[in-house]
Structures are given as structure tokens and as C-alpha cells.
Amino acid sequence: MLDACTLDSSTSAAVLGNLTINYAGRRVVPAGRPVHLTPTEYRVLAELSANAGPLITYERLLDRVWGRRQRNGDVRPIRTIIGKLRRKLDDDANNPRCIFTEPRVGYRTPEADKPE
């Protein structure tokens, strides 16, 4: 289970348990070890984490990451990217900590707690 999710607007970073996402530096560090993400993987993760809490539908992710050119309703690209992200972030789909699946609808990340 995810211990904490924090969004720090002063440093433009999100912390989801043991995962740190530095938006300014485009760095992703799960469990203290930086990982390389493709530009598309990063955009998907940034979209999910920047909108932490509520469900993000497949349609919204496709629009925000791929733009209008991917409006044919095919969700395979997003599922492929989520699978790659889970492998790189060591996030098990059956026991997720960062990316939660809402079957046939979309994905969500835990709600961010803003630091006081």
C-alpha cells in the first residue's frame, strides 16, 4: 500500500510513496534509483501524477498525451505505456502502489497531500 503522496509546488515535484517525480528536471526516481523514461512514458506519468486522486479516463489520457490524432478509441497505446511504466517503476498491476487501474475506464494515482 502507498504510504504517502505529496505534491510540492515550490520544487515542482510529486512524491508517491517511494516514487519521486521532479517535473522541472523531468527526473523519475523510484526507491532511490533514477530510471529513464521515454518522452511518452514521462508524459503519461506526469499527467496521472499532476492530476492525482480522481480517475483519468482513457479518452483524456489519449487526448492529453497523443492529442487529437489518436481519437479512434483505440486504448492499446495507453495500456502498453502503462505496462512499461509499471515495469520500470516496479509497480505490480495486481498490487499497485502508484498506478491504479479502473477496468474499462482509465487509471488513477493516489491523491496528493500538499505539504503545510
Contact between 9 and 114 under an 8 Å Cβ cutoff? The reply is yes
Ramachandran sector of residue 14 (left: φ over 0; alpha: ψ -120 to 50; beta: rest): beta
Please compute the mean of the pLDDT values over residues 2-30 and round it to a whole number: 71
Query: Is 115 among the domain residues?
Result: no
Q: Is residue 25 part of a domain?
A: yes
Domain of residue 82, residue span = 5-108
- Confidence band for 5, pLDDT divided at 50, 70 and 90: very low
Q: What is the CATH number of the domain that holds 33?
A: 1.10.10.10
DSSP letters along 30-95, please? Answer: ETT--B---HHHHHHHHHHHHT-SS-EEHHHHIIIIIGGGGTT---HHHHHHHHHHHHHHT--TTS
Of the two residues 81 and 11, the one the predictor is more confident about is: 81
**pTM (two decimals):** 0.82
Domain-embedded: residue 65: yes
Residue 113 lies in a domain: no
Q: How many domains does the structure of the chain reveal?
A: 1
Closest CA to 48 of 95, 88, 81: 81
What are the pLDDT digits (tens) for 45-88? 999 988 888 999 998 998 888 886 666 778 888 999 999 999 99
Kindly state whether residue 80 falls inside one of the protein's structural domains.
yes
